[in-house]
Amino acid sequence: MQKSLDRKLAAILADPNCGEFIIADAKDADMATGLGAPGASPESHPGEVRFKTLAQYREQMRIIARSELVDIMLMSASSSHALTIEERFFDNSPVTPAVRANDTTDIHLARGGHYHESPSRPFRTANIDHIQCGYLDCAPEERTRGANLGLYSVTFNNDLNHDLITLERFHAFREEAERKGFRYFLEIFDPNVPNAVPPEILPRFLNDMITRMLAGVAPAGRPVFLKLVYHGPRAMEELVRFDPRLIVGVLGGSAGTTRDAFQLIHDAQKYGAKVALFGRKINGAENQLAFVHFLRLIVEHQIGPAEAVRAYHAVLERLGLRPHRPLDVDLQETAQSMSYAGSAPVMVTKPSTPAAEPVLVSAVAPAPGAKASACGCHGAEPKPSAAPPADSSCKCHARPLVTESSAWRRTVARQQPIPSTNGWPDFARMSAAERLAYHRNRLGLG
């Protein structure tokens, strides 16, 4: 089965304005926080520390991957071995399995530990052979048994001795990966020590370090995309504009509010990002599948961040799930820490405009005078010079909301008749009332 990641990467490289966007679910936190990675158990009680089990963590990976709402499932090497090699879970899935290929000391976050407070040092628990085939010294034909995509992370602290070692280890990893045909994407963390770079200069420091570092790497050794902290429009546009073949993505940072996550993916895409990799933001959601569905709707330009928060809360209410925060609080944007070991977010006074109803209104309506697109989710005519996609069918339209609850597994056939083309909703032919009715039915609000 063709992986959606490969199709989207090819499309983005052929035409950066094609509208494709890659979403990754990061469920590799057992390589950082250990036992607490799956999150708090719903069976825990006040004053009691009880976490979900590893089995529950891996089952959530299966649930998210089965939805096909994400393109990448990032795991630890041990989880990937269980799902990818033993279960063959991803063989018939469009989702690409990936593994955290290194675990630098700034993500060593044991309870009571202080390692993350010292300048980051490079370290690798996993090795490429284990990721690819499950044991050392894979034969060439065995390297496709497991995952063949890894995340390699670097942290620059503006310290010559520490940063030089980081670059040397990255050099060694690149050489090994190229020899073994292993693909990777590169994560660049912000400094993990205070005042390493003045805050007002930090985005420029990171952009320079990234481009300087990759300037000496031939295409065969370069990452398939980048993952870094979103430092605002100017920094993102500067990096994207410099090299259109450098695909840039953002990391999610600390959990924050639902609005934080939805606004981040919206803003990052607006200013040039083509990838978002969220870990804690997804794993901490009240309903992970519904949360990811709204991420997908946002990047497909069918709903805005604030409207998505309201609709998400409506889904939680329908499912009988208590939200972590009241709606008015969850609509706030907060100042968050973007380091892996970041402290709790601090509220800022940036309230959103209240709305009468938590529904999807005309988010998918074309702009006045705009031409309908052959691919209804992008709202732009394909460029004649763009290379034809590997898969000519348009698969980026709105999908029915999928949740763990069987009560939410509605089909289009059970909804009211709506204008459609080849079985997909044709939003260009819908009236405003028909679009509203369609989305209310799809979300169970009708």
Domain that holds residue 74: 4-303
* Cβ-contact 185, 177 below 8 angstroms: no
Q: Is residue 54 part of a domain?
A: yes
Q: Is residue 182 part of a domain?
A: yes
Q: How sure is the predictor about 124, in pLDDT bands with cuts at 50, 70 and 90?
A: very high
pLDDT in tens, 374-431: 343 333 333 333 343 344 344 444 444 444 333 333 323 333 444 554 444 555 555 5
Per-residue burial over 390-421, b = 16 or more CB atoms within 10 Å of its CB, e = otherwise: eeeebebbbbebbbebeebeeebeebeebeee
Provide the 3-class DSSP secondary structure of residue 332. coil
Q: Is residue 440 part of a domain?
A: no
Q: Residue 170 pLDDT more than 60?
A: yes
Q: What is the pTM of this model?
A: 0.79
Q: Is residue 388 part of a domain?
A: no
Q: Residue 365 pLDDT more than 70?
A: no
How far is CA 307 from each of CA 69, 193, 259, 355, 376, rounded to the nearest angstrom? 19, 37, 10, 8, 20
Q: Is residue 333 part of a domain?
A: no
Q: What is the CATH number of the domain that holds 270?
A: 3.20.20.70
- Angle between helical axes of 258-270 and 305-319 (0-180°, round to 10): 140
Q: Is residue 319 part of a domain?
A: no
pLDDT in tens, 276-321: 999 999 999 999 999 999 999 999 999 999 999 999 999 999 999 9
Provide the 3-class DSSP secondary structure of residue 351. coil
pLDDT in tens, 138-148: 999 999 999 99
How far is CA 419 from each of CA 395, 437, 439, 444, rounded to the nearest angstrom? 18, 12, 13, 19
How many whole angstroms separate alpha carbon 359 and alpha carbon 95?
29
To which H or E segment does residue 27 belong? strand 22-27
Q: Residue 47 pLDDT more than 70?
A: no
How many whole angstroms separate alpha carbon 135 and alpha carbon 131?
8
- The number of domains in the chain is 1
Predicted confidence at residue 420, as pLDDT, reads: 52
For the chain, what percent of residues have pLDDT higher than 70? 74
Q: Is residue 371 part of a domain?
A: no
What is the C-alpha radius of gyration for the chain, rounded to an integer number of angstroms? 22
Q: Is residue 416 part of a domain?
A: no
Q: How sure is the predictor about 361, in pLDDT bands with cuts at 50, 70 and 90?
A: very low
Show the beta-strand stretches assigned E in 290-350: 334-335, 346-347
Predicted confidence at residue 43, as pLDDT, reads: 72
Q: Which two tokens stand for residue 172?
A: 């060694």
Mean pLDDT of the chain: 82
